[in-house]
Amino acid sequence: MSMENRIQKGYEYAREAYGALGVDVDAAIRRADALPVSMHCWQGDDVLGFEGAQSLSGGIAVTGNYPGRARNFEELTGDIVFAQGLIPGAKKLNLHASYAIKGGKKVDRDAYTLKEFEPWVDFARERGLGLDFNPTYFSHTMMDGDLSLSSPDERKRRFWVEHGKRCREIGRGFAKAIGQPCVVNFWMPDGTKDTCVNTQAFRARMTASLDEIFEDRSGLDLAPCAVESKLFGMGVESFTVVSHEYALGYAIKNNLTARLDTGHFHPTEMVSMKVSAVMNFVQTMLLHISRPVRWDSDHVVAYDDELQRIMDEILWNGLEDRVFIGLDFFDASINRVAAWAIGMRNARKAILGALLAPAAHLRAAEAGGDFTRRLALLEERKTLPLGAVWDYYCMSRGVREDGAWLADIKDYEQRVLRLRS
């Protein structure tokens, strides 16, 4: 029996199994396929960007030295194209400002315009991709240690305020050029290594800086803006200026997009349980999915219970038009292109899994107080034939199924990645 016939027969069986629970599998595939997931460009080059940085600051560290790191625009976009050929569904590409294409000109971050990113716009148009964007508040000589927008040095703080304004303009330019919203995410690593005794002063400067960046309220429909929190970072273990409470409060007060990252909380906290809590008070949310191992380690996204529960919360509550989903990890210990494929395929698999769940039966059991049935259905859902539907979905979109795509990666590694030195 050919692979295509095997996948088709598996799909027919799965459609019957899910159909018995009232799930329309074909409709679930269509809905899953249309939901975009933003793929981060920085996995391909260890977050170094194109500004000549040889190391990272801001508490960011990439471990590993697997052969094949992309070193320029051509190599990075080539790797992105190959990886995305292994991933079904709608996609966006997430850029940092440090990936500007300056063409030999001396342009600093406080003077960036859309022109420095025109090659990315052309690339996205050709590939049918949306674009998201991030100011880069790290790995730069104008950082005041680990401080940017909260720095007491007014000259440095002014530089970073202007950078933020420029990035908002670039995000609006992306949205107009591509024809879909560009989410602009602000992460600042600001904080202190040891105990801070005047936390209010740092946060007051941060607030004043952000208020100036967001004073112009135009274009937020084209380029929604989010402020990202973090629990701590390397070198800023004791005090983080933009904590979760700060970022969420700022978003609610200023009607911005709320921001959650699965790696930016205490290990016992479940981000899946925060989604509906936050969405009661904001219009939109940016959710970055990573895999924290004991801390914000940015491991490759795995298909685990928490990932599935996050997608359940989004899809079961009909929030997919209000929640922007992106991935954020970097791993140089394995094939970087494979890391993209693994993480993105897992995210898309969890989206499909949420839409294949017998949600109507689960809600009916819960509403009727039949918690025994609810638990039984939740557990039995785990052994329903999601894999058979996933393989059919991949095949129907011209993407290699599970068990087959890794051979393509290995071939690409030998033909392309191993030749880089």
Q: Tell me, what's the pLDDT at 421? A: 73
Burial of 154 (0-12, 13-18, 19+ CB in 10 A): exposed
**Is pLDDT at 218 greater than 80 in this prediction?**
yes
371 or 104, which is more confident: 371
Question: Which CATH number describes the domain made up of 36-370?
Answer: 3.20.20.150
Q: Tell me, what's the pLDDT at 47? A: 86
Residues carrying an active site annotation:
187, 228, 230, 261, 264, 288, 296, 298, 328
Q: How confident is the model at residue 55 (pLDDT cuts 50, 70, 90)?
A: low
Q: How confident is the model at residue 61 (pLDDT cuts 50, 70, 90)?
A: low
Inter-residue contact 131 to 91 (CB < 8 Å): no
SS3 letters across the chain: CCHHHHHHHHHHHHHHHHHCCCCCHHHHHHHHHHCCEEEEHHHHCCCCCCCCCCCCCCCCCCCCCCCCCCCCHHHHHHHHHHHHCCCCCCEEEEEEHHHCCCCCCCCCHHHCCHHHHHHHHHHHHHHCCEEEEECCCCCCCCCECCECCCCCCHHHHHHHHHHHHHHHHHHHHHHHHHCCCCCEEECCCCEECCCCCCHHHHHHHHHHHHHHHCCCCCCCCCCCEEECCCCCECCECCEECCCHHHHHHHHHHHCCEEEEECCCCCCCCCHHHCHHHHHCCCCCEEEEECECCCCCCCECCCCCHHHHHHHHHHHHCCCCCCEEEEECCCCCCCCHHHHHHHHHHHHHHHHHHHHHCCHHHHHHHHHCCCHHHHHHHHHHHCCCCHHHHHHHHHHHCCCCCCCCHHHHHHHHHHHCHHHCC
258 or 53, which is more confident: 258
Alpha carbon separation from 11 to 24, 390, 400 (Å, rounded): 13, 9, 15
Q: How confident is the model at residue 101 (pLDDT cuts 50, 70, 90)?
A: very high
Q: What average pLDDT does the segment 154-170 reach?
A: 98
Q: How confident is the model at residue 3 (pLDDT cuts 50, 70, 90)?
A: confident
**Per-chain mean pLDDT for the chain:** 94
The pTM of the whole model exceeds 0.85:
yes
Six-digit token string for 408: 């393509």
Q: Tell me, what's the pLDDT at 104? A: 86
Measured distance CA(101)–CA(94) in Å, rounded: 15
Domain boundaries, the chain: 36-370
Alpha carbon separation from 388 to 11, 149, 341, 353 (Å, rounded): 5, 49, 19, 11
Least Cα distance to 60 among 161, 142, 158, 140 occurs for 140
338-385 confidence digits (pLDDT tens): 999 999 999 999 999 999 999 999 999 999 999 999 999 999 999 999
Q: Tell me, what's the pLDDT at 246? A: 97
Q: Tell me, what's the pLDDT at 71? A: 95
Q: What average pLDDT does the segment 76-105 reach?
A: 96
Q: How confident is the model at residue 232 (pLDDT cuts 50, 70, 90)?
A: confident
Inter-residue contact 285 to 257 (CB < 8 Å): yes
Inter-residue contact 390 to 67 (CB < 8 Å): no
Measured distance CA(389)–CA(378) in Å, rounded: 18
Q: How confident is the model at residue 60 (pLDDT cuts 50, 70, 90)?
A: low
Q: What average pLDDT does the segment 252-264 reach?
A: 95
Q: How confident is the model at residue 298 (pLDDT cuts 50, 70, 90)?
A: confident
Measured distance CA(387)–CA(363) in Å, rounded: 24
Q: Tell me, what's the pLDDT at 38? A: 98
